[in-house]
Amino acid sequence: MKTYLILFGPPGVGKGTQGQILSKDLGIPFISSGDALREEINKKSDIAEKMCSFMNNGELVPDIVVEEFISKMLDQYPLDKGFVFDGFPRTIHQAEFLDSYLGRINVNLDAVISLLLPKEEIVKRISGRRTCERCKAVYNIYFNSFEDDAKCKKCGGNLVQREDDKEEVVIRRVEVYEEKTEPLIAYYKNKGLLIEVDALGTVEDVAKRIKEVLSDRA
Interface residue list for ligand AMP (CB under 6 A): 11, 33-34, 37, 54-55, 58-61, 66, 87-88, 90, 94, 164, 173
Let me know if 125 is a catalytic residue.
no
Phi and psi at residue 104, to the nearest 5°: -65, -30
- Please confirm, yes or no, whether 38 is among the known catalytic residues: no
* Active-site residue (options: 38, 90, 124, 125): 90
Q: Identify whether 50 is a catalytic site residue.
A: no
CA–centroid distance for 173 within its chain: 13
104 is catalytic: no
Catalytic residue among 38, 124, 125, 129: 129
Query: Could you say which of 162, 166, 209, 211 is catalytic?
Result: 162
Identify which of residues 32 and 147 has a Cβ nearer to ligand AMP in the complex: 32
| 101: nearest Cα among 80, 74, 77 | 74
The distance of closest approach from Cβ of residue 147 to ligand AMP in the complex, given in angstroms and rounded to an integer, is 26
Strands 3-8 and 82-86, how do they pair?
parallel
Q: Which is nearer to ligand AMP, 66 or 112 (CB)?
A: 66
Residue 1 beta carbon to ligand AMP: minimum distance, rounded to whole angstroms = 27
C-alpha 128: how far from its chain's center?
A: 17
Q: Which of 38, 124, 125, 173 is catalytic?
A: 173
15 annotated active-site: yes
Give the residue numbers marked as catalytic.
15, 90, 129, 162, 173
